[in-house]
Amino acid sequence: MLEELVKVSDAAILKCPAAEKFCKGKPPYVLEEDGTSYGLFAGEIIPVSTLLYGMMLISGNDCANVIAESASGTITNFTNELNLYIKSLNCLSTNFVNTHGLHHPDHYTTAYDMALLTKKALSIPLFRQIVSTTSYTTAKTNKHDRKEITPFNRLMKKGKYHYPYAIGVKTGYHSKAGYNLVAAAEKDNRTLIAVMMGGEKSELRYKDAKHLFDAAFSETLQRKVIFDDSRIFKAKIEGAKSCLKAFLKQSLVYDYYPAEEIEYKLFIKWDDLKLPIKTDQKVGEMKLISKDGVVLVSSALYAKDKVRRTFLTAVKDIFRKIF
């Protein structure tokens, strides 16, 4: 995929002044003359790898358009498909009408949705590789020589705003949106995401990201005992002489950092139980589940005592087997 070659079309790199873009009804994906660009030419044959790095490291708006057109046939098709996909990630306050983020009244998002998108993206090894790259040499094409590019993200570069645990992700700016940054950092087996939007000065986004990361990484892991192993859970089983009593062999605990504590619900799922039940038999599972359906922690439940059938139930079971 990375070395697949793509031909740059005229439509993907079409530019106009920002004011003209709206008064003359240009498509929302049209580039603006003062926007950041890799500098692609119509007819250029370029590998997907260069487009991806050019888009993510130096905000190549033209690269974003070319990738979209190559993936979905047209840029409009791509944004339509993208909007359907992000809804499946529970990004309910986002709508994209272009690939590059230049201003459009129908193009919007929130810090929370950007964090959700970034969380998903960081689960993709190639994305992690690209956004954590500090220097990349592009391929030579029929229109460009090879060149070295480095990320705009100053958390990733040596200097005043470098952050040693940063692993990406992306800067963004235009006059109406201000200075923006989605940043990610890893330390002590924790991956954190910080989203800054609407900054008045470029350097503030880096300062804020570093402060947020430092505050979160300095937290102490907390432990909450949901149920200890002395707790007994009961369930009625049809045809049983007695109530099922179940217990946890280990306490159900939830470990979390204060900045990451989330709402959760507790569920008990009983197994498909058939009488008789033996002592210490696994009979179910207790789960702690976040509001978006992720299992945070779970523990098996075991029978404390035998549970036998009533005489009538035993007789019925015998007749079922015979007839």
Q: Tell me: the pLDDT tens digits for 267-296?
A: 999 999 888 999 999 999 999 999 878 899
CA 278 to chain centre: 44
Sequence letter at residue 233: F
Q: Give the N- to C-terminal CA distance of the chain in Å, as an integer.
A: 63
For 223-322, give the CATH class: mainly beta
Q: Where are the domains positioned within the chain?
A: 1-151, 152-218, 223-322
CA distance 305 to 96: 58
**pLDDT per position in the chain (323 positions), as tens?**
788 999 999 999 999 988 787 777 789 999 998 889 999 999 999 999 999 999 999 999 999 999 999 999 999 999 999 999 999 999 999 999 999 999 999 999 999 999 999 999 999 999 999 999 999 999 999 999 999 999 999 999 999 999 999 999 999 999 889 999 999 999 999 999 999 999 999 999 999 999 999 999 999 999 999 999 899 999 998 888 889 999 999 999 999 999 888 889 999 999 998 889 999 999 999 999 998 788 999 999 999 999 888 756 554 555 566 65
Q: Tell me: the pLDDT tens digits for 38-97?
A: 999 999 999 999 999 999 999 999 999 999 999 999 999 999 999 999 999 999 999 999
Neighbours of 198 (CB within 10 A): 11
CA distance 306 to 312: 18
Long-range contacts of 101-104 (CB under 8 A, 24+ apart): 101/61, 101/172, 101/174, 101/177, 102/18, 102/31, 102/32, 102/35, 102/61, 102/174, 103/18, 103/174, 103/175, 103/176, 103/177, 104/28
Neighbours of 318 (CB within 10 A): 10
- pTM to 2 decimal places: 0.83
CA distance 76 to 80: 6
Three-point CA angle 162, 101, 216, nearest 5°: 35
CA 216 to chain centre: 19
Sign, CA torsion 184/194/292/266: positive
The CATH number for 1-151, chosen from 3.30.360.10, 3.40.225.10, 3.50.50.60, 3.40.710.10, is 3.40.710.10
Q: Which residue has the tokens 């708006």?
A: 61
CA distance 118 to 170: 10
